[in-house]
Structure 1
Amino acid sequence: MSVPHQPPRIRTALPDDEEELSHLDRATWSPLHAVMPEPQPPYGPFFDERHVPDDYLVAELDRRIVGYIRLALATPLACNAHVRQIQGLAVCDEARGRGVGRALIRAAVEEARRRGARRLTLRVLGHNTPARKLYEAEGFVVEGVLPEEFFLDGAYVDDVLMGRSV
């Protein structure tokens, strides 16, 4: 008989999480979801003036960070302040299939609602089928497609815009 997995603990990131999040970010880099080049040493800070701890929710299993989601304002415009955007989601390989990504998305929806948002949006690469299926299962719908927006790993890839109300 298998022992059921514990659900991840979700919390807001702390400044002290920087090293662990930086390592997770590098370990999970893939052309499946990244448009930026693979990180190379020397690595810059994970947190900066545009990426502050309060923008991140982290998932912990056994007191170890196994995933994060970044929730930010979609734009700096006051007329767009009712929209939050998921601007990054990562789950370490060892925690995949344990509901970590789903828990992070659900926590982001709740946090967006708590912060007064009416909508939550995201962008996902067209070839990232696992992420697209997860987002769709959590109520996101395709709201637009930018065909061949990126040239990654020798192929043109669509940028898929998804959203949902919160």
Structure 2
Amino acid sequence: MPEPETTVRRAVESDDTVLLEIDRTSWDASSGFPSYQETVRESFFERCGPEAHLVAEYDGQVVGYLRLQDKYTFPEGAGVLAVNGLAVAQSARSRGVASALLEAAAAEGRLRGARKITLHVHSTNAIARRLYERHGYLVEGTHPKEFLIDGTFIDALDMAKML
């Protein structure tokens, strides 16, 4: 039997519950902010709506998302997009889901006429850093001791890919 495929589509309102669960269970101190994870949210889309999200399905199930937004709201920054979140359900990791989402984000960026996609990643998130590097993202800057998480200072990295 062939391996199931990962497909990527735009999010819709009915994805809210499953995306909220993925968001609540996918982050840890190496990749996210524990204080944010402790907040009670009723909707995944309360920060920004479905239009900002790409959703990955694997074997017919929603298993991940990527939030892609304009980085700047002023005209001089037009053409720069930001990945403001990428998460994959624990059960679907190492199956190419994150790669499919990053490829779809690059395709969406090209469709929108973007020249660049940026993102931030914790220096401690080695798995994500390697993933981004495989997809052509380069470190553009380091913010030493940007966050204090679980008693440890964490550097934040700015990474970007030119389209």
> TM-score w.r.t. structure 1 length?
0.92
Question: Do 2:55 and 2:64's aligned partners in 1 also have CA atoms closer than 8 Å?
Answer: yes
Please point out which of 17, 25, 28 is paired with 2:15. Answer: 17
Which residue does the alignment assign to 2:120? 123
Instruction: Indicate the SS of the match to 1:27.
Output: helix
Unaligned runs of 5+ in 1: none
In the TM superposition, 1:1-166 aligns within 5 A as 5-35=3-33, 37-40=35-38, 42-48=40-46, 50-166=47-163
Question: Do 1:72 and 1:87's aligned partners in 2 also have CA atoms closer than 8 Å?
Answer: yes
Once residues 41 and 130 of structure 1 are traced to their aligned partners in structure 2, the CA distance between those partners, rounded to angstroms, is 26
> TM-score w.r.t. structure 2 length?
0.94
Instruction: Indicate the SS of the match to 2:19.
Output: helix
**Percent of aligned positions with the same letter in both sequences?**
39
Question: Do 2:58 and 2:97's aligned partners in 1 also have CA atoms closer than 8 Å?
Answer: no
Question: Do 2:5 and 2:59's aligned partners in 1 also have CA atoms closer than 8 Å?
Answer: no
Structure showing the higher helix proportion among its residues: 2
Number of matched pairs:
163
State the Cα RMSD in Å: 1.5
